[in-house]
Amino acid sequence: MKFEQYHLLPLIKENLQLLGFKKPTDIQFRAIPPIMNGEDVLAIAQTGTGKTAAFAIPLIDYIAKNKKFVKNKYIKCLVMVPTRELSIQITDVFNKIGKGTGVRSMSLFGGVDQEPQMKQLANGVDVLVSTPGRMFDLVSQGYIDLNHISTLVLDEADHMLDLGFIQDIKDVMRHIPNKRQTLFFSATINDKIRKLAYKIVKNAIRIQISPDNPVNKNIEHAVSFIEMDDKRFFMERMVNENPESKILVFVRTKVRAERVFKALERAGIQSATIHGDKEQKDRLKVLNEFRSGAVNILIATDVSARGIDIADVDFVVNYDIPEQPENYVHRVGRTGRGDKKGYAISFCSKEEKPLLKAIEEYIGSSIDPLKIDKELYTETISFTNDETQNDWRGLLKDEEEGKSKKTKKGR
């Protein structure tokens, strides 16, 4: 079935065609009809399978078709998301698919001046894509009225629970009508998510795509066993061997992100970092640079993983093995989007092997090892452009001692 066969507004079909949407993905094929029928949907689908368009297409169609009957400035659809980046990117999808339909979509999040947001809300918004904090601030100030919401969407619900937003989700239920459509989208599911889902959806259509294989079939993923102190050399080699490729690198902490950035910088490689310590304007700038190709290497923490929906990421590198197995799925899902091929490689040190085992148990299969013989290993370290490579452990020691002195001083 192709999109042109759906009972959608002709303008939406035109927009989909211009965006390169020819036929629906599995999640879109199964989710769009029940959403168009006004039913509640509980959907579990892999990252990168087109979940956003699965709910955006039918919701834009419904709002656009009913605008002539409901001429007001009330918010009709609320999409709750865990991160600022995800809010921006989902809004972008709504704007592109809904171009020319008159459906007004808005991204709302904290960390920026609220004055322009209040003005945009006053002009009227149909679809509000929001993180909980700023939304509740503006609800309490009287700038947002949720009493007329006809559809609630919870996107990346598993990540919202990981970040402790469960109370916010419960609180929003008190502000919106009981009679509504609820769409619950998540890449993974566990007992906690299942319990929450069944509390807020009513007689939901349950959709689960590839439940036995949480990693998208378009992604080839492998693991290399590399000592922790040697990972930077292999990262350098990978970048040099793929100079035109867009590479997304995941690390465990903000400190690690900056450390890897400096290591690449010493090797003459340009990269950028994105994590929670960055100002919102800086995070957006970095994402735009990565999207445009001005920077081809982006180093990110897990908090940022869900908000990075950028086309044509060639490689995902798990520089650090994630501590939560489900985060592996979300990380590698940043490549192989839609029908494109993607590649993911994990650098695993001795101390990280238990984490790797937990991931393999979670995804239900072993990850193929990418063997590195002794000669290649030695060669990779020997031919680095980083002149400090022989004193790497000394640098780390100096850095730790420097931190220790600062701590003592602070006391």
Strand partners, 105: 127
Residue 397: pLDDT band with limits 50, 70, 90: very low
pLDDT at 396 over 50: no
Residue 411: pLDDT band with limits 50, 70, 90: very low
Q: What percent of the chain has pLDDT over 70?
A: 89
Contacts of 185 (CB under 8 A, 6+ apart): 43, 45, 51, 54, 55, 153, 154, 155, 156, 157
Give helix 51-66 / helix 26-36 axis angle, nearest 10°. Answer: 30
Output the pLDDT for position 402.
54
Please state the rounded mean pLDDT for residues 336-349.
88
Give me the sign of the Cα torsion angle 318, 319, 321, 326.
negative
Please state the rounded mean pLDDT for residues 314-329.
92
249-283 burial code (b ≥16 CB/10 A, e <16): bbbbebebbebbbbbbebbebebbbbbeebeeeeb
Q: Considering only 149-153, 235-239, 266-270, 385-389, which range has the smallest mean pLDDT? A: 385-389
Q: What is the pLDDT of residues 109-156, one digit of tens each?
A: 988 889 999 999 999 999 999 998 899 999 999 999 999 999 999 998
Domain boundaries 3-208, corresponding CATH code: 3.40.50.300
| Average pLDDT of the chain to the nearest whole number | 86
- Residue 259: both structure tokens together: 């450390």
Please state the rounded mean pLDDT for residues 317-330.
90
Please state the rounded mean pLDDT for residues 325-329.
86
- Residue 371: both structure tokens together: 């063997």
Output the pLDDT for position 112.
85
pLDDT at 407 over 70: no
Q: What is the pLDDT of residues 193-251, one digit of tens each?
A: 788 888 888 888 999 886 566 777 788 999 999 999 999 999 999 999 999 999 999 99
Domain positions in the chain are 3-208, 219-405
Residue 33: pLDDT band with limits 50, 70, 90: very high
Alpha-carbon distance of 332 to 273, in angstroms, equals 18
Contacts of 286 (CB under 8 A, 6+ apart): 272, 273, 274, 278, 295, 298
Question: Does domain 219-405 match CATH 3.30.300.30?
Answer: no
- Residue 241: both structure tokens together: 């061997």
